[in-house]
Structure 1
Amino acid sequence: MITIDAVQADITRFPSDVIVNAANSSLLGGGGVDGAIHRAAGPELLEACRALGGASTGEAKMTDAFRIATAAKIVHTVGPVYSAHDPERAAALLAACYRNSLDLAAGFRSIAFPAISTGVYGYPLAAASVVAVDTVRAWADENRDAAIETVTLVAHSAADLAVLRSALAG
Structure 2
Amino acid sequence: MLVEAVRGDITTQDVDVVVNAANSSLLGGGGVDGAIHAAAGPELLAACRELRRTTLPDGLPVGDAVATPGFRLPARWVVHTVGPNRHAGQTDPDLLASCFSRPLELMRELGASTVAFPAVSAGVYGWAVEEVAEVAVRAVRGHGQAPGVALVRFVLFSPQALGAFRAALDAR
Does TM, scored on the shorter chain, surpass 0.5?
yes
Q: Indicate the TM-score class for this superposition, using the shorter chain for normalisation.
A: over 0.9
- Map of 2:56 onto structure 1: none
* Structure 1 residue runs of 4 or more that deviate by more than 4 Å after TM superposition: none
- Aligned-pair identity (%): 48
Give the length in aligned residue pairs: 163
CA distance in 1, matches of 2:78, 2:90: 29
Give the match's secondary structure for 1:50. helix
- Map of 1:96 onto structure 2: 98
- Map of 1:157 onto structure 2: 158
- Map of 1:59 onto structure 2: 64
- Aligned-residue offset at 1:131: 0.2
Cα 1:86–1:10 shift into 2, 3 Å: closer
Q: Deviations over 1:91-134 (max 9, x none)?
A: 11011111111101122110010000002111110011000000
Q: Is the 8 A contact 2:3 2:151 kept in 1?
A: yes
Q: Is the 8 A contact 1:65 1:74 kept in 2?
A: yes
The alignment status of 1:109 with 2:113, answered yes or no, reads yes
* TM-score, normalising length: structure 2: 0.91
- Map of 2:43 onto structure 1: 44
Select which of 124, 133, 137 maps to 2:128: 124
- Aligned-residue offset at 1:86: 6.3
Give the match's secondary structure for 1:126. helix
RMSD: 1.1
CA distance in 1, matches of 2:38, 2:90: 33
Give the match's secondary structure for 1:12. helix
| Correspondence list, 1:7-18, <5 A | 7-18=6-17
Q: Is the 8 A contact 1:32 1:119 kept in 2?
A: no
Structure 2 unmatched ranges of 5 or more: 53-58
CA distance in 2, matches of 1:131, 1:94: 7
Structure 1 unmatched ranges of 5 or more: none
Amino acid at match of 1:50: R
- Map of 1:81 onto structure 2: 85
